């Protein structure tokens, strides 16, 4: 993935970050804004064999670089690296998840889903069914990564570590990273990307330069979705369904969700149709009900809905007390939505609860 293939708002942020010095970055912001994509593009550029020489990992930023990176008025504009070429051996090695100078740390379930290799021991344990893939970033994986950080760079462009979602490090894993993050080898750089920076240890946050991802404008997001093949009306509806997050809107389309399906969801649930939720993973089903409940509460209180078009929601008033009870109930269910419940029974119960609320009267 070169800078040219990134969404434009991600590419612009990549240019700003590449113009700045620093050995450790914390990329933060709400989910769906491209933390992982920006983090991976950043380490690709650091390791690319054809990229211009980058600013040193350590040291202060020249004033003109600071103005260019942060968009402040005044001062000259420093040239910024273009990002990875996408064609050299280093870029190819990252594409096939086999770069000798890059370590990617994610929960094992996400590593497997994305095709990133596990350590030999972890893979053996999972293959032998001695344990299940972890939903946290394990301390064993972090210790292997720290040992990797002490090695000499194999390709001469330094080494990099990408951690995502960084909030999935438990206290032991984060503590293991802390010393290396504070005193890294001279050619080692770090990117921690997160949807929940507040869950990280303050000592981790304080050792990184922070960058909050920019929320794209609606027109910018719709133009990008159109480039991905979504018709204008479809893109606008799915972007609204995703709460304004373009990558989530694209994921909905790729998951065969349509704007029509989303628009019909409130009325399908009012009729108690279990099929509206039956094929969804439980966390996603709960998330959709939370969006619906949010918009119904907003309407009752005189605000505009965020995820649905107002014409797709029930016209008559619903009791706020019933909606607030439903909201609390959904929040409680969301905490355990990834537990191994019976999916069919869970979908039936969720659809029944939604039908009861949507047909309640003031």
The CATH number that applies at residue 298 is 1.20.272
- pLDDT of 35 over the 70 cut: yes
The pLDDT of residue 54 is above 70:
no
pLDDT higher than threshold 90 for residue 98: yes
Which of 152, 187, 212 marks a domain boundary? 212
Tens digits of residue pLDDT in 140-157: 999 999 999 998 888 888
Claim to verify: residue 279 and residue 193 sit in the same structural domain: no
Q: CA-based angle 199:121:95, to the nearest 5?
A: 70
Please give the C-alpha separations between residue 12 and each of 78, 85, 157, 210, 286, in angstroms, as whole numbers. 14, 16, 23, 16, 34
pLDDT for position 72: 31
**Cβ contact 34:213 at 8 Å:** yes
Q: What is the pLDDT of residues 165-192, one digit of tens each?
A: 999 999 999 999 999 998 888 789 999 9
* 66 is a domain residue: yes
188 bridge partner residues? 159
pLDDT at 342: 80
What's the confidence (pLDDT) of residue 66? Answer: 34
CB 169 within 8 A of CB 139: no
Whether residue 249 lies inside any domain: the answer is: no
Confirm if 103 and 161 have CB atoms less than 8 A apart: yes
Residue 36 included in any domain: yes
pLDDT at 50 over 90: no
**139 and 13 share a domain?**
yes
Angle at 85 between CA 81 and CA 88, to 5 degrees: 130
Residue 4 has pLDDT above 70, yes or no: no
- Please compute the mean of the pLDDT values over residues 49-69 and round it to a whole number: 50
pLDDT band for 299, please (50, 70, 90 cuts).
very high
- Tell me, what's the pLDDT at 186? 77
Q: Is 81 within the bounds of a domain? A: yes
Within a domain: 160:
yes
Mean pLDDT of the 23-40 span: 94
Over residues 20-44, the mean pLDDT reads: 93
Q: Which domain holds residue 266?
A: 258-358
β-strands 102-105, 159-163 pairing? parallel
Which is nearest to 169 in space by CA: 178, 179, 160? 178
User: Does position 77 have pLDDT exceeding 50, yes or no?
Assistant: no
Residues 280 and 342 in one domain: yes
Residue with tokens 């890059």: 102
Residue 226 lies in a domain: no
Q: State yes or no: pLDDT of 303 exceeds 60.
A: yes
**Contact by Cβ (8 Å): 264, 241:** no
Residue 218 within a domain: no
Whether the predicted pLDDT of 1 surpasses 50:
no
Same domain, 282 and 205: no
pLDDT recorded at residue 82: 62
Label residue 68 by pLDDT band (50, 70, 90).
very low
Query: How many folded domains does the chain comprise?
Result: 2
Query: For tokens 């929601």, what's the residue?
Result: 313
- pLDDT one-digit tens code per residue, 246-263: 989 998 898 878 899 999
The pLDDT of residue 57: 57
- Model confidence at 53: pLDDT above 70: no
Q: What is the pLDDT of residue 3?
A: 45
**C-alpha torsion 213→217→223→229, nearest 10:** 60
Asked whether residue 166 is domain-assigned, the answer is yes
The pLDDT score that the predictor gives to residue 69 is: 37
Maximum alpha-carbon separation in the chain: 69
The predicted structure's pLDDT at residue 340? 63
CA distance 241 to 120: 41
Task: Point out the domain boundary residue: 212, 230, 246.
Answer: 212
Q: Are residues 189 and 320 in the same domain?
A: no
Stronger pLDDT, 343 or 74, i.e. the higher one: 343
Q: Which of 153, 182, 212 is the last residue of a domain?
A: 212
Share of the chain above pLDDT 70, in %: 90
* Pair 280, 168 in one domain: no
Do residue 206 and residue 269 come from a single domain? no
82 versus 223: the higher-pLDDT residue is 223
Residue-averaged pLDDT of the chain: 88
Domain identity same for 164 and 294: no
For residues 110 and 204, membership in a common domain is answered with yes
Above 60 in pLDDT, residue 362? yes
For the chain, the three-class secondary structure string (H helix, E strand, C coil) is CCHHHCCHHHHHHHHHHHCCCCCEEEEECCCCCCHHHHHHHHHHHHHCCCCCCCCCCCCCCCHHHHHHHHCCCCCCCCCCCCCCCCCCHHHHHHHCCCCCCEEEECCHHHHHHHCCCCCHHHHHHHHCCCCCCCCCECHHHHHHHHHHHCCCCCCCCCEEEEECCHHHECHHHHHHHHHHHHCCCCCEEEEEEECCHHHCCHHHHHCCEEEECCCCCHHHHHHHHHHCCCCHHHHHHHHHHCCCCHHHHHHHHHCCCCHHHHHHHHHHHHCCCCHHHHCCCHHHHHHHHHHHHHHHHHHHCCCCCCCCCHHHCCCCCCCHHHHHHHHHHHHHHHHCCCCCCCHHHHHHHHHHHHHHHHCCCC
Same domain, 171 and 265: no
Distances from the Cα of 311 to the Cα of 160, 232, 295, 302, angstroms? 49, 19, 12, 15
In this structure, are 156 and 62 located in the same domain? yes
CATH number reported for the structural domain that contains residue 88 in this entry: 3.40.50.300
Kindly state whether residues 86 and 190 are assigned to the same domain: yes
Per-residue pLDDT, 237: 93
- Residue 128 token pair: 């032998």
């Amino acid at each position: 993935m070169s800078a040219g293939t990134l969404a434009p708002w991600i590419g612009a942020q990549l240019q700003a970050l590449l113009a700045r010095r620093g050995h450790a970055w914390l990329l933060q912001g709400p989910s769906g804004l491209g933390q992982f994509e920006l983090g991976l593009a950043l380490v690709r550029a650091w390791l690319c064999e054809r990229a211009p020489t980058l600013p040193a990992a350590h040291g202060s930023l020249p004033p003109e670089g600071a103005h260019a990176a942060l968009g402040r008025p005044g001062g000259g504009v420093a040239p910024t690296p273009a990002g990875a070429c996408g064609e050299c051996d280093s870029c190819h090695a990252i594409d096939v998840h086999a770069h000798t100078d890059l370590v990617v740390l994610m929960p094992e379930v996400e590593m497997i889903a994305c095709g990133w290799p596990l350590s030999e021991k972890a893979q053996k344990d999972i293959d032998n069914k001695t344990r299940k893939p972890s939903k946290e970033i394990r301390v064993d994986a972090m210790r292997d990564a720290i040992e990797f950080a002490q090695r000499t760079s194999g390709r001469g462009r330094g080494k990099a570590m990408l951690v995502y979602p960084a909030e999935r490090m438990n206290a032991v894993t984060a503590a293991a990273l802390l010393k290396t993050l504070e005193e890294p080898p001279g050619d080692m750089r770090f990117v921690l990307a997160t949807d929940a920076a507040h869950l990280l240890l303050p000592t981790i946050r304080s050792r990184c330069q922070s960058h909050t991802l920019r929320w794209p404008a609606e027109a910018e997001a719709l133009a990008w979705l159109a480039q991905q093949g979504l018709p204008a009306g479809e893109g606008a509806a799915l972007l609204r369904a995703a709460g304004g997050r373009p990558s989530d809107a694209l994921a909905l389309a790729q998951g065969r969700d349509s704007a029509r399906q989303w628009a019909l969801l409130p009325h399908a649930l009012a009729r108690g149709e279990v099929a509206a939720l039956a094929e969804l993973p439980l966390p996603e089903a709960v998330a959709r009900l939370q969006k619906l409940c949010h918009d119904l509460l907003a309407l009752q209180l005189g605000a505009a809905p965020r995820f649905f078009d107002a014409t797709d929601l029930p016209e008559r008033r619903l009791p706020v007390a019933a909606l607030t009870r439903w909201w609390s109930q959904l929040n409680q269910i969301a905490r355990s939505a990834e537990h191994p419940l019976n999916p069919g029974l869970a979908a039936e119960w969720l659809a029944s609860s939604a039908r009861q609320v949507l047909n309640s009267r003031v």
